[in-house]
Amino acid sequence: MTTRPLSPLTMLLSRHTRRRGFITLLGGAAAAWPLAVRAQQSKVPVVGFLHPGSAEPNASLLAAFRKGLAEAGYTEGKNVAIEFRWAHGENSRLGEMAADLVQRQVAVIVTPIGTVTVLAAKTATSTIPIVFSAGTDPVKAGIVASLRRPGGNVTGVNYMAAELSAKRLSLLHELTPRATRIALLVNPANPVPAETVPKDTEAAAETIGLHIDVYKAETSREIEMAFDALIQNRADALVIGADAFFIDRRVQIVTLATRYLLPTVYFLREFAEIGGLMSYGASDFGRYREVGIYTGRILKGEKPADMPVVQPTQFELVINLSTARVIGITVPPSLLAQANEVIE
């Protein structure tokens, strides 16, 4: 069989087809290269953020955490990603959420508030670094071996909210010296502070001749019930125990305390800013920022075991004079002199 030679037109079309195929192949490779680069760039460290509350009431504090991260060299969306887990006041979900973050192999787990939160994370992993912020003594709570050398995979900030219960009671007594029956509100879903805070407060109350009645609430409805009960029992004043759930419900709590004209001391300035009578505690913005800085340092390679637990050295006393006038209390000059801020 004789093969006929290709015509000039056929040869031209063949060369054109091969050239188009080569260009397509080259173009495909060029298109794939940026994708590969983007995939490589997307492998930024992921921080798991585990919180017992909700996002909206903690927006300003989340900004403080991001500020600390930025100071350590990390910006969300640029060279670090954050996976958020909000329990919305349901502490029973924290264990499941911590386990999910472990399964996702995050680089660090952050628990910015609550002893129950860091214990849930610690139960979920003994290898992934954990940066906590808790209001109870982390050594007594079994979170770390010591403040100076935490050991293991956990370090963070102790903002001493529970340890300051006696100081808050003292300030409340100075504000309302005639009050003898003091109510204390705690969250039983956060068992460590729910046990230690009443003990510390009752011990302090004995030294100044006061009586403490403990009330418990872990839902909004139970907060209402607790206020109904303490008013019925003729409480003279109220101490709010440190708890993340109460931060989320601060509007409800401050509204009830004002409605019943009940002198109340809180553990964070955020309560006084929205109408609470008086607050005393470490700066919440400062500790979230510190948690962010510690998270960045761990992302750079530092070991939690060698990073001392941070403790605040300054505390804020905030007094809301507008609320004092509403509930009919005259703040003594000695107390005003101690205040870091007075809200008119």
Count of alpha carbons within 13 Å of 338, Cβ hemisphere only? Answer: 19
Distance (Å, rounded) from C-alpha 187 to C-alpha 80? Answer: 34
Cα distances from 242 to residues 32, 159, 192, 196, 321, in angstroms, run: 54, 10, 11, 11, 23
pTM: 0.80
CA angle (192, 195, 197) in 5-degree steps? 95
* Residue 330 host element (H or E): none
d(CA 287, CA 143) in angstroms, rounded, equals 17
Residues 6 or more apart whose CB falls under 8 angstroms from that of 343 comprise: 272, 273, 318, 319, 320, 321, 322
The beta-strand segments (E) located in 282-333 are 316-320
Give Cα 196 to chain centroid, integer Å.
20
Comparing C-alpha atoms, which of 132, 140, 176 is closest to residue 158? 132
Q: Residue 344 is which amino acid?
A: E
Three state DSSP letters for the chain: CCCCCCCHHHHHHHHHHHHHHHHHHHHHHHHHHHHHHHHHHCCCCEEEEEECCCCHHHHHHHHHHHHHHHHCCCCECCCEEEEEEECCCCHHHHHHHHHHHHHCCCCEEEECCCHHHHHHHHHHCCCCCEEEEECCCCCCCCCCCCCCCCCCCEEEEECCCCCCHHHHHHHHHHHCCCCCEEEEEECCCCHHHHHHHHHHHHHHHHHCCCEEEEEECCCHHHHHHHHHHHHHCCCCEEEECCCHHHHHCHHHHHHHHHHCCCCEEECCHHHHHCCCCEEEECCHHHHHHHHHHHHHHHHCCCCHHHCCCECCCCCEEEEEHHHHHHCCCCCCHHHHHHCCEEEC
Residue 16 is predicted with a pLDDT of 47
List per-residue pLDDT tens for the chain, 344 residues long: 444 454 444 444 445 444 444 444 344 433 333 433 333 445 899 999 999 999 988 898 999 999 999 999 999 999 999 999 999 989 999 999 999 999 999 999 999 998 999 999 999 999 999 999 988 889 989 999 999 999 999 999 998 877 788 899 999 999 999 999 999 999 999 888 888 899 989 999 998 999 999 999 999 999 999 999 999 999 999 999 988 899 999 999 999 999 999 999 999 999 999 999 999 998 888 999 999 999 999 999 999 999 999 998 889 999 999 999 999 999 999 999 999 999 99
CA dist 231 and 223 (Å) reads: 12
If residue 285 lies in a helix (H) or strand (E), which one and from where to where? helix 284-299
Place of tokens 């015509």: 7
